[in-house]
Structure 1
Amino acid sequence: MTKHEKVQVVYEYFILTIATLIQVAGIYVFKFPNNYSFGGVTGMSIVLAKGLPLTPGTITFVINMVLLILGFLFLGKSFGIKTVYVSVLMSVALWAAEIIFPMKAPLTTQPVLELIYAIVLPAFGSAILFNVGASSGGTDIIAMILKKYTHLNIASALFCVDLFIVIASCFVFDAQTGLFSMCGLLAKSLVVDNVIESINLCKYFTIVCDNPQPICDFIMKDLNRSATIYHAEGAYQHNQKTVILTVLKRRQAVELRNFIKRNQPTAFIAITNSSEIIGKGFRGFN
Structure 2
Amino acid sequence: MNGERVREAARTWLILALGTAVYAFGIEYFILPNLLMEGGVTGIAVLLQYAAGLPPAITSLAINLPLFVFGWRLLGRGAMVYTIGGTLLLSLFLWLWERTIDAGWIRPFTTKQDFILVVLYAGVTLGAGLGLVFRSGGTTGGVDIIARIVHRWRGWSMGQIILTMDVVILGSALLFIPKEKVLYTLVSVFISSRVIDFIQEGAYAAKAFTIICQNPERLAAAITKELDRGVTLLPAVGGYSGEKRMMVYCVVSRFEIRKLKSLVREHDRQAFIVINDVHDVLGEGFRED
TM-score, normalized by length of structure 1?
0.73
Q: CA deviation at 1:46?
A: 1.4
Q: Distance in 2 between matches of 1:157 and 1:229?
A: 40
Counterpart residue number, 1:247: 251
In the alignment, structure 1 residue 170 sits paired with structure 2 residue 170 = no
Q: Is the 8 A contact 2:210 2:248 kept in 1?
A: yes
For 1:17 and 1:230, locate their aligned partners in 2 and report how far apart those are by CA, in whole Å.
Answer: 46
Report SS of the residue matched to 1:79: helix
- Partner residue in 2 for 1:18: 18
CA RMSD of aligned residues (A): 3.9
Aligned mates of 1:126, 1:29 — CA distance in 2: 16
Shift of 1:93: 0.7
C-alpha offsets along residues 214-265 of structure 1, whole Å, 9 cap, x if unaligned?
643787xx66x5633779xxxxxxxxx99642224x3xx647977998x999
- Per-residue deviation, 1:154: 3.1
Return the alpha-carbon distance in structure 2 between the equivalents of residues 86 and 56 of structure 1: 15
How many Å separate the matches in 1 of 2:26 and 2:83?
19
Instruction: State the distance in 2 between where 1:230 and 1:20 align.
Output: 46
| Rounded Cα–Cα distance in structure 2 between residues aligned with 1:227 and 1:74 | 43
2:232 and 2:12 map into 1 onto residues whose CA distance is 28
Choose from 275, 278, 282 the match for 1:272. 275
Superposed displacement of residue 40, structure 1: 1.0
Q: Aligned partners of 2:168 and 2:281: how far apart in 1?
A: 37
- Could you give the per-residue CA deviations for residues 124-160 of structure 1, whole angstroms, max 9, x where no partner exists? 3323433443322221111112122223343223222
* 219, 224, 229: which one aligns with 1:216: 224
Query: 2:180 and 2:220 mapped to 1: Cα distance?
Result: 62
Query: Which residue is equivalent to 1:228?
Result: 233
Q: Give ranges in structure 1 of 5+ residues lacking alignment.
A: 232-240, 282-286
Q: Describe the shift of the 1:230–1:214 C-alpha distance in structure 2 as closer, same or farther (beyond 3 A).
A: farther
One of 109, 120, 124 as aligned partner of 1:107: 109
- The question of whether the paired residues in 1 share the 8 Å contact of 2:33 and 2:110 is answered with no
* Residue range with higher mean Cα deviation, 59-68 or 141-150: 59-68
- % identical aligned pairs: 24
The question of whether the paired residues in 2 share the 8 Å contact of 1:211 and 1:242 is answered with: no
Q: After superposition, give the CA deviation of every residue in 1:90-128 in whole Å (9 maximum; x if it has no partner).
A: 111111111123279851314221111222221233234
Counterpart in the other structure of 2:139: 135
Number of the residue aligned with 2:120: 116
Q: Which amino acid aligns with 1:107?
A: F
1:195 to partner: Cα distance: 4.7
Structure 2 gap segments, 5+ residues each: 237-244, 285-289
Aligned ranges for residues 22-33 of structure 1 at < 5 Å? 22-33=22-33
Alignment of 1:91-102 (within 5 A): 91-102=91-102
* AA at the equivalent of 1:17: A
Aligned length: 266
- Match for 2:206: what amino acid? C
Task: Return the alpha-carbon distance in structure 1 between the equivalents of residues 283 and 260 of structure 2.
Answer: 24
Farther off after superposition, 156-165 or 48-57: 48-57
Matched with 1:59 is: 59
